[in-house]
Chains A and B, each alone.
Chain A
Amino acid sequence: MSQILFEIPKVEIMGSGHLACPGCGATMAMRYALKALGRKTVVVIPACCWSIIDGAAPYSVLGVPVFHTAFETAASTATGIKAGFVAQGKTDINVLAWAGDGGTFDIGFQSLSGAAERNEDIIYVCYDNEAYMNTGIQRSSATPQGAWTTTTPVQNPKSRPKKNIVDALAAHHIPYIATASVSYPDDFIRKLRKAKSMKGMRFLHILSPCPPGWKSQAEDSVKIARLAVECCVFPLYEVHDGRRYNLTHKPKGLPVKEYLKLQGRFRHLSDADIEKIQTEVDHNWRTLQRRVEFSTEIDTRSDVSDQGATK
């Protein structure tokens, strides 16, 4: 098997001593993101696990400036930080909004949509652990159908499917959207570097295993994230201009059961429930494939997303 070796940058911008649980996907994600973006980066963190992970005052585990902000304001605060820098002639600083699924799909969705529509010149990363973990594993609109959380107990698990945040952002015609996984660091870093090289609103959606919230083993986090990709639950792809889709990794198409069975939050599901989830995953995967196929027909000269970015 031939393989192109990809260098993961050796530089460690994030230090040791973070306060995350063992096996925290959100923490691995930050480490890779900073390797890709470098030190000329300011991180904006709304209320989420990462407000704790960074460390209690006077310590901070990130080797770059961090601005903690209110739960629903990651995108709006990041917008202001970028504007403040630009107003002072500092145009080369990456402003990275780093929010959980709650801060992105739910309470922060309005400000995110506003920033996306205005094509603000920021990088927005949503680390998605599929529930409100910081407050003790309550359901969010990113929680998958059938999953247990403390507000969707097994007698009454989440009945509605997960919100498709990539579709929602694509509808804003922003220059760049990508999904990424901590199990594929090369793909992850390549995408963040690409995002860094672009202007305007860039959005990355990262599935982030969470052992306490998913009732999984800490040592399985990387494996679970990989299975999410290989089972087509969380395919790795990019969307340019909100309409040109391309896959960055061809999944093996393993049965979704392989992914579900490592997580206690799905343990109560019957075979019929799992079959239903498989059908949904298959449908989503086919839809994505169609979009990828159709994308080759789209003339890039019709791109709209490079208009209006904060200069």
Chain B
Amino acid sequence: MKRVLEAQLDKYFNPQTTAEIKVIEGTHAASHAAKLARVKTISAYPITPQTSIVELLSEMCASGDLEAQFIKVESEHSAMACLIGAEATGARSFTATSSQGLLLMHEVLHWAAAARLPIVMVNVNRALAPPWNIWTDQTDSLAQRDTGWIQFYAESNQEVLDTILMAYRLGEQVMLPVMINMDAFFLSHTAEPVAIPKQNLVDEFLPAYRPEFTLDVNDPRAFGGLTKPDRYMEFRYNIQKAMETAARLIPTVAEEYDYLIGRHHGTQVEEYRTEDAEYLLVTSGTITGTTRIVVDQFRDQGVPLGLLKIRTFRPFPDQAIRNAVAHVKKIGVIDRNISFGSGGIFFNEIKAAIYNAKVHPLLNGYVAGLGGRDVTPSVITDIAEHLIKSKQGKDLIWIGVKK
């Protein structure tokens, strides 16, 4: 515990690069990031627990702290459609949503990506209805898997802020939109100290958005018109190539950010105490923070347990996963999501990634914490012990389901 905190303190609060340390919720960390990115257009529709992101942005726009057009639309579908239009003119844009709101956007999420518009959106991971539940669950964003959006999952409020800034830098280089996910309440409504970087450093890190093609009356072009089979496929090929480029650029962007601002949250993955690990837990989101503590406890007892945190779901870090598992004997993937008729979604992707690897460690899929149920250190300890004892991999192991 102490070790984690000390490391965090050094890493997070570099006085040279920090304008201010604020004790804020994840939602407000997101609003501050949008402001630091100097977004020009914002459009959003309220949904719990996203609301405080846009409330603070409304205040910033009203007070003149942020010079942006804020369009208060009548639905999430219109929010995304509106930003599609704005971004096509060359205006950097931002929105935030959650759960049902994200699902309502589905059609236009595909549109944003295929139109190659690097919009940045925060999604607060919240469970889907019915029954109504406003607590955390990742099925909302993972259901957007094939939309062409780059997806990040954050572990802390600081990571939310930093990742939004990196998202603009990354997205605008590969011309793909980026979604930054944070857990409902565990991040969105939990106050943590967050270092707000100095604006001049952010400006240096993130130059103004200057896309090659925009809606320009002096250079009229048609965007997204009818495209026949002889041309369509190349558009898809290019999106996949852009995703592959994004995978290559993520470490560079993280380094640039570290160089200027002095913080690094890992690349597509972050390995924690994986040196000589025989057993590996794989997590994303806030479960990661809890798992760090459990890993420390096991290590203190001499058990070689390590942790692999997944930061990007798209592009999926196949290669980083293959490297990370090369020397481990057993892997347990903890999913706070479910694909009905299959299982944990990260688990399935990891299983697929490992198929073409040289080694095939034992692989267990654990589904835990749906709809905001607590995944405590003791729950993770049980998972780790189960993994260590396992003789045969199992695709779907439910954790804590009441009889």
Which of the 9-residue segments A3-11, A111-119, A186-194, A272-280 touches chain B? A111-119
Given known A-B contacts A81-B88, A84-B41, A84-B86, A76 and B81 have beta carbons under 8 A apart: yes
**Residue A1 at the B interface, CB < 8 A?**
no
In the bound complex, CA of A56 to CA of B232 (Å): 11
CB distance from B116 to the nearest CB of A (A): 13
Cα separation A31 to B137 with both chains bound (whole Å): 51
CB of B2 within 8 A of chain A? no
Q: How far is the CB of B268 from chain A (nearest CB, A)?
A: 31
A69 near B225: Cβ-Cβ < 8 Å: no
A109–B314 Cα distance when bound, in Å, is 34
Closest-by-CB residue of A relative to B232 is A57
In the complex, residue of chain B having the shortest beta-carbon distance to the beta carbon of A72: B77
Instruction: Report A-chain residues with C-beta under 8 Å of the C-beta of B227.
Output: 56-57
Contacts of A52 in B (CB 8 A): 226
Q: By the criterion CB–CB under 8 Å, are B224 and A111 in contact?
A: no
Cβ < 8 Å to A, chain B residues 194-228: 215-217, 219-228
Question: Which one of A39, A68, A88, A93 lies within 8 Å of B90 (CB-CB)?
Answer: A88
A57-71 interface with B by 8 A CB criterion: 57, 59-60, 62-70
Partner of A65, one of B43, B69, B73, B222: B222
**What is the minimal beta-carbon distance from A47 to any residue of chain B, in angstroms?**
11
In the complex, which of the residues B73, B88, B217, B220 contacts A114, with contact meaning CB atoms closer than 8 Å?
B73
Q: Would you give the 0/1 interface string for A104-147, flagging 1 where the beta carbon is closer than 8 Å to chain B?
A: 00000011011001101000000000000000000000000000
With the chains together, A148 CA to B392 CA distance in Å? 65
Contact of B74 among A68, A77, A111 (CB under 8 A): A111
Given A64-B220, A70-B81, A77-B85, are A87 and B68 also a contact pair (CB < 8 Å)? yes
Report yes or no: A83 in contact with B69, Cβ–Cβ below 8 A: yes
Report if A65-B220 is in contact (Cβ < 8 Å); known contacts: A78-B85, A80-B81. Answer: yes
B108 touches A70 (CB 8 A): yes
- CB of B238 within 8 A of chain A? no
Which residue of chain B lies nearest to A77 when distances are taken between CB atoms in the complex? B85
Given contact pairs A69-B81, A76-B77, A76-B81, A84 touches B91 in the complex (Cβ within 8 A): yes
How far in angstroms is the closest Cβ of chain A from B253?
A: 25
Contact (Cβ within 8 A) A57 B226: yes
Interface pair B75/A111, CB less than 8 Å apart: yes
Contact in complex: B220, A69 (CB < 8 Å): no
Closest residue of chain B to A41 (Cβ to Cβ) is B217
Cα A84 to Cα B89 in complex, Å, equals 6
Whether B91 pairs with A83 at a CB distance below 8 angstroms is yes
Do residues B223 and A67 form an inter-chain contact, with CB atoms below 8 A? yes
Q: Does A284 contact B (CB under 8 A)?
A: no
- Interface contact B82-A77, CB-CB below 8 Å: yes
What CA separation (Å) do A174 and B181 show in the bound complex?
Answer: 38
Q: How far is the CA of A54 from the CA of B276 in the complex (A)?
A: 62
- Quick check: A40 and B84 within 8 Å, CB to CB? no
- Contact residue range for chain A? 35 or more
B40 within 8 A of partner (CB): yes
The residue in chain A whose Cβ has the minimal distance to the Cβ of B215 is: A65
A310 interface residue (CB < 8 Å to B): yes
Report the separation of the CA atoms of residues A72 and B84 in the bound assembly, to the nearest whole angstrom. Answer: 13
Beta-carbon contact of A69 and B84 below 8 Å: yes
* Chain B residues with CB below 8 A from A60, complex form: 220-222, 225
Q: Compute how far the CA of A88 lies from the CA of B216 in the bound complex, rounded to whole angstroms.
A: 12
Q: Are B226 and A67 in contact (CB under 8 A)?
A: no
Per the 8 Å Cβ criterion, residues 70-124 of B in contact with A are 71-75, 77-79, 81-91, 93, 107-108, 111
Q: Which residues of B contact A69 (CB under 8 A)?
A: 81, 84-85, 111, 224
Q: Which residues of A contact B87 (CB under 8 A)?
A: 80, 84
Closest to B75 in A: A110
**With known contacts A56-B226, A73-B108, A65–B221 Cβ distance under 8 A:** yes
Say yes or no: is B231 at the interface (Cβ < 8 Å to chain A). Answer: yes
- Shortest CB-to-CB span from A208 to chain B, Å, is 20
For A59, A77, A118, A120, which residue has the most chain B Cβ atoms within 10 angstroms?
A77
Interface string of A81-94 (1 = CB under 8 A from B): 11111111010010
Most buried by A among B89, B91, B224: B89
Does A79 interact with chain B (Cβ within 8 Å)?
yes
Report the separation of the CA atoms of residues A73 and B91 in the bound assembly, to the nearest whole angstrom.
19
A80 touches B86 (CB 8 A): yes
Chain A, range 202-244, C-beta contacts under 8 Å to B: none
Would you call A42 and B217 a contact (CB within 8 A)? yes
Residue of A nearest to B42 (CB): A83
Q: Does A55 contact B (CB under 8 A)?
A: yes
- The reply to whether B223 and A111 contact each other, CB–CB distance below 8 Å, is no
A169 interface residue, CB < 8 Å from B?
A: no
CB distance from A213 to the nearest CB of B (A): 20
Task: List, in ascending order, chain A residues with CB within 8 A of B226's CB.
Answer: 51-52, 54-57
Indicate if the CB atoms of A57 and B81 lie closer than 8 Å: no
Q: B148 to chain A: closest CB distance in Å?
A: 15
Q: Show the binding face of A for B, using Cβ within 8 Å.
A: 39-42, 44, 51-52, 54-57, 59-60, 62-70, 72-73, 75-88, 90, 93, 110-111, 113-114, 117-118, 120, 310
Q: Given A52-B226, A114-B78, A310-B71, output 18 extra A-B contacts at Cβ < 8 Å.
A: A57-B222, A63-B220, A65-B222, A68-B222, A68-B224, A69-B81, A69-B84, A76-B85, A83-B41, A83-B71, A84-B40, A84-B41, A84-B86, A84-B93, A110-B75, A111-B77, A111-B81, A114-B75
Q: Could you list some 20 contacts between A and B, CB below 8 A?
A: A39-B220, A41-B217, A42-B217, A54-B222, A54-B226, A57-B225, A62-B222, A64-B217, A76-B77, A76-B78, A76-B85, A77-B82, A80-B71, A82-B85, A83-B43, A87-B40, A110-B74, A110-B75, A111-B78, A117-B74
